[in-house]
Amino acid sequence: MDVAIVGLPLAGKTTVFQALTAGHGSAAAAPRGEHIGSVKVPDERLEKLGALVKAKKVTPIEVVLHDLPPLFERGAAPSGPAAESLAKADALVHAVRAFQREDVPHSLESIDARRDIEVLDAEMMLNDLGIVERRLEKLDITVRTGPAAEREAGEREKALLERCKRFLESEQVLRNAISDPTDTRGLSNYGLLSLKPALVLLNIDEREAGRAADIEAEYETRFGGPKTRAAAFCAKLEAELT
């Protein structure tokens, strides 16, 4: 499973990456400009199944983490190898700055985690809307001039993409708007960013660590959905502990 860590500049993405990989991730991979690391995820069910069948070896699930450089700078869509990693990711970790540091100014000049979540979601939705609109233009030709079988398939695809377009134009992230597994599979080849399951990870101050559960509950209520979860931790503290 591939997971991309995304976020605005100076949100602490690389510190989050170091905390999650226990400091065992790679150095930045040129020319991609990303760090890559893997984490073994223990699963009690897998261990029990292995014991039941007397397996010689039980291989835990491996999650490959990609710490990507800032993507939507100056409103430009992601490009290059990092954009390729983002499109191929199975899920996203959205690192959100919720810590104060006067020596590290925020790129938007103030600390506002809710705003930052909405800014990145808006950029992803705008990116997705462009993909959907370009595909719909091609489908219009297919359903008018293609063979009967292609026209029928094109009509189904067009209907699904038109639903996506309506959601995006009404500022709804697709991961919470599209729930049918068949629809999700039908959209899997487009690399739609707002369709990917996401963990909103609040990177909090060390002094707020004792309130992590309350912060998680607050943001889960505001941003949670079928494929969106919220969590909070101090990445700097966790990286030091690992």
- How many domains does the chain divide into? 1
> Who contacts 208 (Cβ-Cβ below 8 Å, separation ≥6)?
98, 99, 215, 232, 234
The whole-angstrom separation of Cα 8 and Cα 147 is: 46
41-63 per-position pLDDT tens digit: 776 776 776 776 777 777 778 88
Mean per-residue pLDDT, 52-80: 73
* CA-closest candidate to residue 200, choices 85, 112, 120, 126: 120
Q: Return the structure tokens found at 119.
A: 């800014």
Q: Say which DSSP state 71 is in.
A: -
What CATH number should be reported for the domain holding residue 25? Answer: 1.10.150.300
| Predicted confidence (pLDDT) at residue 75 exceeds the cutoff of 60 | no
Torsional sign, CA 224, 228, 231, 234: negative
* CA-closest candidate to residue 82, choices 92, 94, 67: 67
Choose the most confident range, by mean pLDDT, from 77-91, 139-153, 212-226. Answer: 212-226
Query: Helix 113-145 crosses helix 148-169 at what angle (to 10 degrees)?
Result: 160
| pTM across the whole model | 0.85
130-181 per-position pLDDT tens digit: 999 999 999 998 888 878 778 888 899 999 999 999 999 999 999 999 999 9
Name the residue range of residue 181's domain: 2-241
Q: Which run of H or E residues covers position 119?
A: helix 113-145
Residue 181 buriedness (CB in 10 A; 0-12 / 13-18 / 19+) = exposed
Q: Return the structure tokens found at 8.
A: 């605005």
List the end-to-end C-alpha distance of the chain, in Å, as a whole number.
22
φ/ψ region of 88 (left if φ > 0, alpha if ψ in -120 to 50, else beta) reads alpha
93-135 per-position pLDDT tens digit: 999 999 998 888 888 889 999 999 999 999 999 999 999 999 9
Q: Specify the pLDDT at position 79.
A: 58
Q: Specify the pLDDT at position 38.
A: 86
Residue 202 buriedness (CB in 10 A; 0-12 / 13-18 / 19+) = buried
Q: Specify the pLDDT at position 30.
A: 46
The whole-angstrom separation of Cα 125 and Cα 121 is: 6
| Predicted confidence (pLDDT) at residue 74 exceeds the cutoff of 60 | no
* CA-closest candidate to residue 228, choices 106, 120, 77, 86: 120
Average pLDDT, the chain: 87
